[in-house]
Amino acid sequence: MSESYACDVLVVGGGVTGAGVLRDLARRGLKTLLVDRGDFGTGTTGRYHGLLHSGGRYAAGDAVTARECIDENRVLRRIAPASIEDTGGYFVATPDDPEDYVDAFPAACAAADIPCEEIPVAAALRREPALNPKIRRVFRLPDGSVEPWNLIDGNIADARAHCSDAWSYRRVVAFERAGERIISATVRDERSGTTARIAPRFVVSTAGAWAGQIAALAGVEVTMVPGKGVMLIYNQRMTDTVVNRCHKSADGDIMVPVHTVAILGTTDVRVADPDVYDISREEVSALIAEGEKLFPDLGRMRLLRAYAGVRPLYQPPAATQAAQNRSISRAHTVLDHGEDGIDNYVSIVGGKLTTFRLMAEDTVDVVCEKLGVTTPCTTADEMLPNQVPGKTYWLGHRLAEHEAEGGGDSALICECELVTRPMLASFLDEHWPCSVDDMRRGTRLGMGPCQGGFCTFRAAGMAAEHAAAGASGTTDDAIVGYLRERFKGTRPIAAGRQLQELWMVLGIYGGLGIESLVDGGPAADAREADDARR
């Protein structure tokens, strides 16, 4: 093993929480290293619903979370406006929602300091005509949508400006303990297979649903109850406003407009392993049926794919095993493993993306206290470096920019999401080496209706140009790997146009001599989906 990398703090898990913890530690003067087993934001953070909570969803049942949400909602609008679309949110009472809940809703919001204004149903329908005309009441709250990768990027960039660093594709495979302390961690480079030794003074686990696995490496027990949530991506936004059902949280009751698409979610099912789950057609149908209570025409709108994420829910040792996942608090908990016999190790579990900064602050407060650092937290006051004051995201910006340059298809690599050759070239310059999937997270490549059908070979070609000479042969793998991943998400919803699209894309790649795009042999999935439809 090569020589070790010394730092003050090692943060394990590069989701939004890890990025937030990294930034906070760095700003308080601690040299910090963040590692993730994959690209940053490939855990739950990259597979969440996209909602910047106003807190309204928790107002009636979980006042602590509700208040944290609205506070952090305000903070994020200040420090990361470009990552946020100020869509506003409606909480609508459908005929299915219990009146007492609806009646008590405004007061519950007021108690949590959440601005909540009732507006006439007609006004809501005028703004969002796809809404169910039978809704009875509508409340307007400051919900929004938030882009996670941009947020992670900004946090990491700020940390790098403060003598810290972040490494992707480095998996923590072991901890070395000396008595009450962790003295080093072994990380494996997931691309080259080599390992490195990190020697930190302190370890923070921000591994979300995987926090239990990391704890096990250190020899302590953290019981996570990963909750799988399924979401459906619609081809275009049937609403420009976030729409929530005004009732006790349940499945399929929120629609979030995110960039060019709208996402319906979610569900909550306990899974044993956060890396092993699938999405059934029954789950998809059940979600749509619920979603139709908000948008009656949903069944006719085109779905692009289904995906799922796993909630980092934590079960304190005392809680009963019978508790339903939905009733476990969404609030976060900082676990100081000093109680388990390790002095320099904490885990942060639970929480929401909306509250990631607060989670980081609470965690770093504990770390600083242990390390004797008294520098105060400044993450709520300073804007992230990749932001412009006050300028929130606007759906039309990409089209407007592209049009200002004359528009046109010629420079487009991904036509659906308007990703241009220069955009990809500069991404490759900055992030090389990277996979097509990394390019997707960085640019939205392949996230539109054809799900990579027309852009993958172009993007893989650009990547091949970037690669060292002699790297040919990897292009096919890149294409196959990426498209397989994309198709996995299409499979549970494949019907109608999206099924035709899938067939057409298979045809295109078949013509290019690439056959095994779906598991189980050429075109097997599409055929299976076809059969299921018949």
Partner 1 sequence: MTIAELVEEASLEQVGYSSDQCLKCNVCNTACPVARVTDLYPGPKYVGPQAARFRMGRNLPAQGKGGPRLKSPDLTVDYCSGCGWCTTVCPAGVKVAEMNSQSRARMKAGGRPKLRDWGLGQTDLTGRIGVMFSPLGNWALANRPLRRMMELTVGIHHAAPFPKFSRRTFQSAWKRRHKGDVGRPLPGPDKAVVYFHGCAVNYYEPHVANAAISILERNGFQVIVPPQVCCGLPLISNGIYGEAREKAHHNLKILADYARKGYRIIGTSTSCTHTIKAEYREMLDIHDDDATVVANATWDICEFLLDLHDHGKLDTGFGRLDEDLPYHAPCQLRSHGIGLPAMDLFALVPGLRAMDMDHDCCGIAGTYGMKKEKYDIGMAVGAPLFARVRASGAAEAACDSETCRWQIEKASGVRTRHPVEILQAAYLAGDAAAGRAGQSPAGSGGVAPVTSH
Position 35 contacts partner 1 (CB under 8 A): no
- Residue 286 CB neighbours (<10 A): 15
Q: Which stretch binds partner 1 (CB under 8 A): 42-50, 115-123, 354-362, 403-411?
A: 403-411
Position 403 contacts partner 1 (CB under 8 A): yes
Considering the complex, what minimum distance in angstroms separates the CB of residue 119 from partner 1?
A: 16
100-129 mask for partner 1 (x: CB under 8 A)? ---------------------------xxx
Residue 532: enclosing H or E segment and its boundaries? helix 524-533
Of 147, 61, 69, which Cα lies nearest the Cα of 358? 69
Spatial contact of 152 and 17, defined as CB atoms under 8 Å apart: no
Q: Which stretch binds partner 1 (CB under 8 A): 23-31, 61-69, 93-101, 301-309?
A: 301-309
Spatial contact of 36 and 168, defined as CB atoms under 8 Å apart: yes
Considering the complex, what minimum distance in angstroms separates the CB of residue 146 from ligand FAD?
A: 7
Query: 157: exposed, middle or buried (C-beta count within 10 Å: 0-12, 13-18, 19+)?
Result: middle
Position 281 contacts partner 1 (CB under 8 A): yes
Distances (CA, A) of 262 to 42, 95, 303, 395: 20, 23, 10, 12
Q: Which residues within the stretch 159-188 sit at the binding site for partner 1 (CB under 8 A)?
A: none
175 phi/psi in degrees, rounded to 5 = -115, 145
Position 511 contacts partner 1 (CB under 8 A): no
Query: Closer to ligand FAD at the Cβ: 41 or 448?
Result: 41
171, interface contact from ligand FAD, partner 1, none, CB < 5-8 Å by kind: ligand FAD
Residue 146 corresponds to which amino acid?
A: V
Q: Which stretch binds partner 1 (CB under 8 A): 144-152, 219-227, 390-398, 467-475?
A: 390-398
Spatial contact of 204 and 95, defined as CB atoms under 8 Å apart: no
Query: Closer to ligand FAD at the Cβ: 152 or 418?
Result: 152
Task: Give CA–CA dist 432/528, Å, rounded.
Answer: 37
Position 300 contacts partner 1 (CB under 8 A): yes
With a CB cutoff of 8 Å and minimum separation 6, the contacts of 402 are: 418, 420
Beta strand ranges found along 25-95 (DSSP E): 32-35, 51-52, 84-85, 89-93
Considering the complex, what minimum distance in angstroms separates the CB of residue 308 from partner 1?
A: 17
Distances (CA, A) of 525 to 353, 397, 522: 34, 36, 8
Position 243 contacts partner 1 (CB under 8 A): no
Query: Closer to ligand FAD at the Cβ: 54 or 132?
Result: 54
Spatial contact of 451 and 304, defined as CB atoms under 8 Å apart: yes
Position 504 contacts partner 1 (CB under 8 A): yes
Position 280 contacts partner 1 (CB under 8 A): no
- Applying CB under 6 A, the residues found at the interface with ligand FAD are 12-18, 35-38, 42-45, 48-51, 53, 171-172, 206-210, 213-214, 229, 231, 265-266, 309-312, 351-354
Q: Which stretch binds partner 1 (CB under 8 A): 143-151, 293-301, 318-326, 336-344?
A: 293-301
Task: Give CA–CA dist 2/512, Å, rounded.
Answer: 43
Considering the complex, what minimum distance in angstroms separates the CB of residue 364 from ligand FAD?
A: 14
Task: Give CA–CA dist 208/16, Å, rounded.
Answer: 10
Query: Applying CB under 8 A, which residues contact partner 1?
Result: 127-130, 235-238, 240, 260-261, 281, 284-285, 288-289, 292, 299-303, 395-400, 403-404, 406-409, 412, 415-416, 418, 448-450, 453-454, 493-497, 500-501, 504, 532-534
